[in-house]
Amino acid sequence: MHYYSHPSAVIDEDCSIGEGTRIWHFSHIMSGCRIGKNCNLGQNVVVSPGVILGNNVKVQNNVSIYTGVECEDDVFLGPSMVFTNVINPRSAIVRKDQYKKTIVRKGASVGANATIVCGNEIGEYALIGAGAVITKPVPPYALVAGNPAKQIGWVSEYGHTLLFNESGMAVCPESGQPYVLKHQSVSRLI
């Protein structure tokens, strides 16, 4: 075993857990999920069957990641944020064959207590504000907040607000990386 799990964590059989990953108190890792290298799963985290977490994913306390969710590398999931996997759940009606896929792309961050309604894609390096309710896809580098969430700006890969000039150019104040805004889409210049 090349990962750490707290003695109170439950790790079911047939999981794939990468080297350097840490799983903390009272978490439950269910069979058939794949967790990458160097991830950190906080206290009281549930990872359901079929879930895929890339490398270096940080999952804060009290997050349940349900079947149908995939998080690429370097994703951050804030405390008590929520995923769903069925659009119209009912206790008396089994809809396990109707799970909607939700994907969180590389480097995206989801704030504390945010809700991601299933079937949506969160773009690379997007930043979801605390308490936001995501009801539609979020573009790469978008900054969204509110209920329902609305885009309120753009962010760099370091999570700083980007201020674009008349030419559609911006620079991250921390990294110095340049970005371009063209046709309501942001990309980083190399």
Does residue 153 form part of some domain?
A: yes
Could you give the CA distance from residue 77 to residue 97 in angstroms, rounded to a whole number? Answer: 26
Residue partners of 15: CB distance under 8 A and separation at least 6: 29, 30, 31, 32, 33, 34, 35
Amino acid 44: pLDDT? 98
Amino acid 14: pLDDT? 96
Residue tagged 């991601």 (tokens): 116
Residue partners of 166: CB distance under 8 A and separation at least 6: none
Whether the ω angle into residue 148 lies within 30 degrees of 0, i.e. cis, is yes
Does residue 189 form part of some domain?
A: no
- Asked if 114 and 81 touch (Cβ cutoff 8 Å), the reply is yes
Q: What pTM does this model have?
A: 0.96
| Residue 73, domain extent | 4-86+99-162
Amino acid 115: pLDDT? 98
Residue partners of 92: CB distance under 8 A and separation at least 6: none
- The residue-averaged pLDDT of 35-44 equals 98
The proportion of the chain whose per-residue pLDDT surpasses 70, expressed as a percent, equals 99
Q: What is the pLDDT of residues 14-39, one digit of tens each?
A: 999 999 999 999 999 999 999 999 99
Residue 1 has pLDDT above 80, yes or no: no
Does residue 176 form part of some domain?
A: no
Residue 52 has pLDDT above 90, yes or no: yes
Does residue 138 form part of some domain?
A: yes
Concatenate the DSSP letters of all residues of 27-68 into one string: -EE-TT-EE-TT-EE-TT-EE-TT-EE-TT-EE-TT-EE-TT
Amino acid 190: pLDDT? 83
Kind of pairing between the strands at 133-134 and 115-116: parallel
Write the CATH number for 117: 2.160.10.10
Q: What is the tally of structural domains in the chain?
A: 1
Q: What is the pLDDT of residues 93-136, one digit of tens each?
A: 999 999 999 999 999 999 999 999 999 999 999 999 999 999 99
- The residue-averaged pLDDT of 85-100 equals 94
Q: What is the pLDDT of residues 129-165, one digit of tens each?
A: 999 999 999 999 999 999 999 999 999 999 999 999 9
Amino acid 67: pLDDT? 97
